[in-house]
Amino acid sequence: MAYSRPAAPDDLRPLEVFGNSARFLHGEDHFGTPWSARSWLAEHELGELTLDERDLARLARFRETLRDHLDGVDVAAELNEFAAATVGGPRWPGPALAPAGEGVDGLIARLLDVLFRAEVTGRARRLKPCRAPECRWLFYDRSPAGNSVWCSMDICGARHKMRAYRSRA
Protein backbone atom coordinates (compact mmCIF):
# COMPACT_ATOMS: atom_id res chain seq x y z
CA MET A 1 0.00 0.00 0.00
CA ALA A 2 1.14 3.54 -0.68
CA TYR A 3 0.93 6.59 1.51
CA SER A 4 -2.00 8.68 0.35
CA ARG A 5 -1.71 11.98 2.23
CA PRO A 6 -1.05 15.12 0.20
CA ALA A 7 2.47 16.48 0.43
CA ALA A 8 3.37 19.20 2.91
CA PRO A 9 3.19 22.82 1.71
CA ASP A 10 6.16 23.96 -0.39
CA ASP A 11 8.01 25.65 2.47
CA LEU A 12 7.90 22.47 4.60
CA ARG A 13 8.34 19.95 1.82
CA PRO A 14 12.16 19.65 2.17
CA LEU A 15 11.73 18.51 5.78
CA GLU A 16 9.00 16.04 4.87
CA VAL A 17 10.96 14.63 1.94
CA PHE A 18 14.20 14.33 3.91
CA GLY A 19 12.43 12.81 6.91
CA ASN A 20 10.87 10.22 4.63
CA SER A 21 14.18 8.99 3.25
CA ALA A 22 13.44 5.76 5.07
CA ARG A 23 10.29 3.67 4.87
CA PHE A 24 10.90 1.35 7.80
CA LEU A 25 7.52 -0.32 7.33
CA HIS A 26 8.78 -1.50 3.94
CA GLY A 27 12.40 -2.13 5.00
CA GLU A 28 13.77 0.74 2.90
CA ASP A 29 16.45 3.22 3.91
CA HIS A 30 17.84 5.36 1.11
CA PHE A 31 20.86 6.20 3.27
CA GLY A 32 22.03 2.58 3.17
CA THR A 33 24.89 3.10 0.73
CA PRO A 34 26.70 6.18 -0.56
CA TRP A 35 25.42 5.48 -4.08
CA SER A 36 21.76 5.06 -3.06
CA ALA A 37 21.88 8.17 -0.85
CA ARG A 38 23.56 10.28 -3.54
CA SER A 39 21.00 9.14 -6.11
CA TRP A 40 18.02 9.65 -3.78
CA LEU A 41 19.14 13.13 -2.65
CA ALA A 42 19.63 14.25 -6.27
CA GLU A 43 16.29 12.77 -7.36
CA HIS A 44 14.51 14.66 -4.56
CA GLU A 45 16.33 17.92 -5.32
CA LEU A 46 18.15 18.00 -1.98
CA GLY A 47 21.59 18.26 -3.53
CA GLU A 48 24.28 16.61 -5.62
CA LEU A 49 26.58 15.36 -2.86
CA THR A 50 29.65 13.17 -2.65
CA LEU A 51 29.12 10.94 0.37
CA ASP A 52 31.07 8.49 2.50
CA GLU A 53 29.99 6.18 5.33
CA ARG A 54 30.47 8.94 7.94
CA ASP A 55 28.17 11.23 5.94
CA LEU A 56 25.51 8.51 5.74
CA ALA A 57 25.61 8.04 9.50
CA ARG A 58 25.23 11.81 10.05
CA LEU A 59 22.32 12.04 7.60
CA ALA A 60 20.52 9.10 9.24
CA ARG A 61 21.16 10.54 12.71
CA PHE A 62 19.83 13.94 11.64
CA ARG A 63 16.76 12.32 10.07
CA GLU A 64 15.93 10.49 13.29
CA THR A 65 16.63 13.62 15.37
CA LEU A 66 14.25 15.54 13.11
CA ARG A 67 11.56 12.87 13.48
CA ASP A 68 12.01 12.82 17.26
CA HIS A 69 11.80 16.61 17.46
CA LEU A 70 8.62 16.71 15.38
CA ASP A 71 7.23 13.98 17.65
CA GLY A 72 7.73 16.19 20.71
CA VAL A 73 10.83 14.46 22.08
CA ASP A 74 13.32 16.86 23.69
CA VAL A 75 16.29 16.67 21.33
CA ALA A 76 17.39 20.29 21.73
CA ALA A 77 20.94 19.22 22.59
CA GLU A 78 21.20 17.17 19.40
CA LEU A 79 19.70 19.94 17.26
CA ASN A 80 22.10 22.45 18.82
CA GLU A 81 24.99 20.08 18.09
CA PHE A 82 23.96 19.91 14.43
CA ALA A 83 23.50 23.69 14.31
CA ALA A 84 26.90 24.37 15.88
CA ALA A 85 28.56 22.16 13.27
CA THR A 86 26.66 23.41 10.22
CA VAL A 87 25.20 26.88 10.67
CA GLY A 88 27.25 30.05 10.38
CA GLY A 89 24.61 32.29 11.92
CA PRO A 90 22.01 34.67 10.55
CA ARG A 91 22.78 36.55 7.33
CA TRP A 92 20.85 39.40 5.72
CA PRO A 93 19.45 39.46 3.14
CA GLY A 94 18.74 35.81 2.74
CA PRO A 95 17.95 32.79 4.84
CA ALA A 96 17.51 33.11 8.57
CA LEU A 97 20.39 30.68 9.10
CA ALA A 98 23.31 30.55 6.69
CA PRO A 99 25.09 27.26 5.92
CA ALA A 100 28.64 27.32 7.25
CA GLY A 101 29.80 24.69 4.76
CA GLU A 102 28.89 22.65 1.76
CA GLY A 103 28.03 19.02 1.19
CA VAL A 104 26.28 17.25 4.05
CA ASP A 105 26.83 20.23 6.37
CA GLY A 106 25.18 22.54 3.84
CA LEU A 107 22.19 20.22 3.45
CA ILE A 108 21.71 19.90 7.21
CA ALA A 109 22.03 23.69 7.60
CA ARG A 110 19.38 24.30 4.91
CA LEU A 111 17.04 21.83 6.62
CA LEU A 112 17.68 23.45 10.01
CA ASP A 113 16.77 26.79 8.43
CA VAL A 114 13.45 25.36 7.18
CA LEU A 115 12.81 23.85 10.62
CA PHE A 116 13.69 27.13 12.37
CA ARG A 117 11.28 29.10 10.18
CA ALA A 118 8.54 26.51 10.65
CA GLU A 119 9.00 26.63 14.42
CA VAL A 120 8.83 30.43 14.49
CA THR A 121 5.62 30.48 12.44
CA GLY A 122 4.05 27.53 14.31
CA ARG A 123 3.74 25.46 11.13
CA ALA A 124 6.13 22.76 12.38
CA ARG A 125 3.44 21.38 14.70
CA ARG A 126 1.49 20.17 11.64
CA LEU A 127 4.43 18.12 10.35
CA LYS A 128 4.60 14.96 12.42
CA PRO A 129 5.75 11.37 12.35
CA CYS A 130 3.27 8.52 12.32
CA ARG A 131 2.64 7.32 15.85
CA ALA A 132 3.37 3.71 14.86
CA PRO A 133 6.94 3.07 16.08
CA GLU A 134 7.62 0.70 13.21
CA CYS A 135 6.64 3.39 10.68
CA ARG A 136 7.43 7.01 11.75
CA TRP A 137 6.60 8.30 8.22
CA LEU A 138 6.38 12.10 8.24
CA PHE A 139 3.10 13.61 7.13
CA TYR A 140 1.52 17.05 7.14
CA ASP A 141 -1.59 17.06 9.32
CA ARG A 142 -4.32 18.95 7.48
CA SER A 143 -7.10 18.03 9.90
CA PRO A 144 -8.94 21.05 11.35
CA ALA A 145 -7.94 20.19 14.93
CA GLY A 146 -4.40 19.14 14.00
CA ASN A 147 -4.75 15.88 15.90
CA SER A 148 -4.04 13.20 13.28
CA VAL A 149 -1.60 10.57 14.49
CA TRP A 150 -1.35 8.01 11.64
CA CYS A 151 0.33 8.41 8.28
CA SER A 152 -2.61 6.53 6.83
CA MET A 153 -5.78 5.10 8.31
CA ASP A 154 -5.53 2.36 5.68
CA ILE A 155 -2.09 1.24 6.87
CA CYS A 156 -1.02 2.18 10.40
CA GLY A 157 -4.42 3.28 11.67
CA ALA A 158 -5.98 0.00 10.57
CA ARG A 159 -3.15 -2.01 12.14
CA HIS A 160 -3.60 -0.14 15.43
CA LYS A 161 -7.37 -0.72 15.41
CA MET A 162 -6.88 -4.43 14.67
CA ARG A 163 -4.36 -4.80 17.52
CA ALA A 164 -6.72 -3.01 19.92
CA TYR A 165 -9.62 -5.23 18.80
CA ARG A 166 -7.57 -8.41 19.25
CA SER A 167 -6.34 -7.34 22.68
CA ARG A 168 -9.97 -6.89 23.80
CA ALA A 169 -11.09 -10.23 22.37
**What pLDDT score does 158 carry?**
64
**What pLDDT score does 94 carry?**
65
pLDDT digit string (tens) for the chain, length 169 residues: 456 788 999 999 999 999 999 988 888 999 999 999 999 999 999 999 999 999 999 999 999 999 999 999 999 999 999 999 999 877 666 667 778 788 999 999 999 999 999 999 999 999 999 998 888 999 999 999 988 888 876 778 666 577 666 677 7
**What pLDDT score does 167 carry?**
73
Can you tell me the distance from the alpha carbon of 106 to that of 108, in angstroms, rounded to the nearest whole number?
6
Residues 62, 72 contacting (CB under 8 angstroms):
no
**What pLDDT score does 89 carry?**
73
**What pLDDT score does 100 carry?**
78
Coil, strand or helix at 99: strand
**What pLDDT score does 16 carry?**
97
Can you tell me the distance from the alpha carbon of 169 to that of 165, in angstroms, rounded to the nearest whole number?
6
